[in-house]
Structure 1
Amino acid sequence: MSLRDTAKHTARRCRRERDAVATRQAILEAARTLFAHDSYECVTIRDIASKAGIDPALVIRYFGSKEDLFLATLDKGNCSSLPGGESMGLGHGLIHHYISHWSKQDASDPLLIMIRSASSNDSSDILRQALNEQFLQPIAEQVGGPDGHLRAELALSQLIGVNIMRSLLHTEALSAIPDEQLIQIVGSVCQHYLSDELEETSTSKEEPIERR
């Protein structure tokens, strides 16, 4: 093969690789947008392909299945490297991470996608897997301790609540609050869950009051 033929072959290969990357990204963005607006079982491969402007067969070619594509839409801005490596300050780092990566105007917010499909029987196992791998486990590992996972769930429950109020219900006060103020307020609550002592409910029966 001549140098000219080699150059042409290399150029064609590079174009194919760029096209493949662009096609995969178009599918992923289309899926994120659709899953953020409807539940898992209501979004079809054909819907995603139409949104991306491609043939449905390409969706399967690039992602294998609807389940694998759904998982891929949740793999965005996870909590594996939050600011504040120690438990102190991690609560503010968590809400800061949320604000930075998942803007209230971002249609591809992973938590919003999860909320949309939370009641879907078809996606329940996928959601639990993604929630644990991308959110709960990374937070629990940074917090440490035997109750790290519980603390992570309590903190994340705050973010889910904020997400519902801001992104789904668009409540006036919470939607209007500046991000910096939201980080301080919600961050303090998250920090309480992540580092303060958690109250334990006593299971022992109270001693009867002695009558005189």
Structure 2
Amino acid sequence: MRAVSTPPPVSDPTPARRDAEATRAAILKSARYLLARHAHTDITLKDVAERAGVSPPLILKYFGNKDALFARVMSFEADAEALLDAPLEELGRHMVRHVLVSQTERGTDPLLRITFARLHDDQGDILRANFRTQVTERLAERLTGPDAGLRAELAVGTLLGLGVMFGIARGPHLRASAVDDLVDRYAPVVQAQLAGP
């Protein structure tokens, strides 16, 4: 009797894609952490790799080179996309929930890096300019009425304050409260700036 050969199991590509996404996220998180504490020129790919738990060649595979990696780190484009992904009449609630859920589920909100990044060198200038154009000015474009730019900056500033108090200062009363309760209390403050006079 002949042995029947069984074909090798077909692997599901989803876990590999998830692993790749998790690896990219770990690399970006590591680079953001280091950029907040060191000048761009002082950070090596080896530093990023060690903190992320990967090899330097893997960073090159995913991002190409150090400049491409840090260009991605200094961009708020994808973060702003998620933050502003709601109709204007519901945007305050969405933005507050986004900041809180990012903190509780991922341990960070990528927008908060503007609050603790080194802003005194060329990279600081790039980070500030990106934040203005990709977050506050993009939000202002959606607003109607007078002082749209000011209202957008006040709304974003209010969100950053919440994020700092929740995620960095770790306010015990905030952290002990349910996300829905915090959204109910805080969203009207943000929405008032978005709606305008």
The question of whether the paired residues in 1 share the 8 Å contact of 2:141 and 2:148 is answered with yes
Alignment pair present for 1:39 and 2:37 = yes
Q: How does 1:78-157 map onto structure 2 within 5 Å?
A: 78-79=80-81, 81-83=84-86, 85-86=87-88, 88-100=89-101, 102-145=102-145, 147-157=147-157
CA 1:187 to 1:23, structure 2 compared with 1: closer, same or farther past 3 Å?
Answer: closer
**Percent identity (aligned):** 26
d(CA) in 1 for partners of 2:145 and 2:71? 29
d(CA) in 2 for partners of 1:65 and 1:89? 40
* Structure 1 SS opposite 2:130: helix
Q: Residue 155 of structure 1: CA displacement? A: 0.3
d(CA) in 2 for partners of 1:192 and 1:161? 16
d(CA) in 2 for partners of 1:116 and 1:154? 19
- Please give the root-mean-square deviation of Cα atoms over the aligned residues, in Å: 3.3
The question of whether the paired residues in 1 share the 8 Å contact of 2:114 and 2:128 is answered with no
d(CA) in 2 for partners of 1:166 and 1:95? 12
Q: 1:169 is matched with which residue?
A: 169
Unaligned 5+ segments in structure 2 are 1-12
Q: Residue 180 of structure 1: CA displacement? A: 1.0
CA 1:20 to 1:67, structure 2 compared with 1: closer, same or farther past 3 Å?
Answer: farther
Q: Residue 188 of structure 1: CA displacement? A: 1.0
The question of whether the paired residues in 2 share the 8 Å contact of 1:152 and 1:194 is answered with yes
TM-score normalised per structure 2: 0.71
Q: Residue 64 of structure 1: CA displacement? A: 4.3
Residues 66-102 of structure 1: CA deviation (Å, up to 9, x unaligned)? 453234244544246432x23x3332222123234x2
Alignment pair present for 1:187 and 2:190 = no
Residues 2-21 of structure 1: CA deviation (Å, up to 9, x unaligned)? xxxxxxxxxxxxx9xx9899
- Tell me which protein shows more helix as a share of its residues: 2
CA 1:56 to 1:120, structure 2 compared with 1: closer, same or farther past 3 Å?
Answer: farther
4+ residue runs of structure 1 moved beyond 4 angstroms?
18-25
Unaligned 5+ segments in structure 1 are 1-14, 198-212
The question of whether the paired residues in 2 share the 8 Å contact of 1:28 and 1:72 is answered with no
The question of whether the paired residues in 2 share the 8 Å contact of 1:27 and 1:52 is answered with no
Q: 2:27 is matched with which residue?
A: 30
d(CA) in 1 for partners of 2:107 and 2:148? 30
The question of whether the paired residues in 2 share the 8 Å contact of 1:136 and 1:149 is answered with yes
Letter of the aligned partner of 1:32 in structure 2? Answer: K
Letter of the aligned partner of 1:185 in structure 2? Answer: R
